[in-house]
């Protein structure tokens, strides 16, 4: 499922806490992004149409909650990045991240643990 960068900002709010009414989502997203409430509601509608969000109602207001997990979305994003920019190979992506000067010791440990588990 393709989720735009703007849509992902809305999803991040709902991955942190859900279900939420549209008004609460607008309060959390609009000021940080400089968007109007209408823009946020349009993004919510798009995400519902894509099947990323569920829109229910309670006391005559809409409540939104994710139908996909953040982890599954990240997995899809990483897969797309690997396929589209790394010729389907993981090593060039890992090398690009490893070349970053600000990779933390914690990240290094976690990467090594992941590789060890894959053996």
Q: Is residue 71 part of a domain?
A: no
Cα four-point dihedral sign 5, 11, 16, 21: positive
Alpha helices (H) in the chain, listed in sequence order: 5-16, 22-33, 37-50, 70-85, 90-98, 105-118
For the stretch 55-86, pLDDT in tens is 998 888 999 999 999 999 999 999 998 999 99
Does residue 81 lie within any of the structural domains? no
Kindly report, residue by residue over 34-47, the tens digit of the pLDDT: 999 999 999 999 99
Are 14 and 61 found together in one domain?
A: yes
Residue 101 is part of which domain span?
89-119
> For the ranges 22-31, 71-80, 94-103, which has the lowest average pLDDT?
94-103
CATH number of the domain where residue 28 is located: 1.10.10.10
Average pLDDT over the chain reads: 92
Q: Which of these, 52, 49, 60, 59, lies nearest to 18 by C-alpha position? A: 52
Whether 110 is covered by a domain: the verdict is: yes
């Amino acid at each position: 499922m393709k989720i735009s960068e703007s849509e992902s900002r809305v999803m991040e709010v709902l991955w942190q806490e859900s279900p939420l009414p549209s008004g609460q989502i607008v309060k959390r997203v609009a000021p940080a992004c400089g968007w109007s409430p209408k823009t946020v509601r349009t993004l919510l509608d798009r995400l519902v149409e894509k099947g990323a969000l569920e829109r229910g109602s309670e006391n005559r207001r809409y409540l939104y909650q994710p139908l996909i997990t953040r982890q599954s979305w990240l997995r899809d994003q990483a897969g797309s990045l690997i396929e589209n920019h790394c010729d389907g190979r993981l090593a060039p992506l890992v090398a690009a991240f490893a070349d970053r000067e600000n990779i933390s010791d914690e990240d290094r440990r976690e990467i090594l643990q992941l590789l060890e588990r894959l053996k």
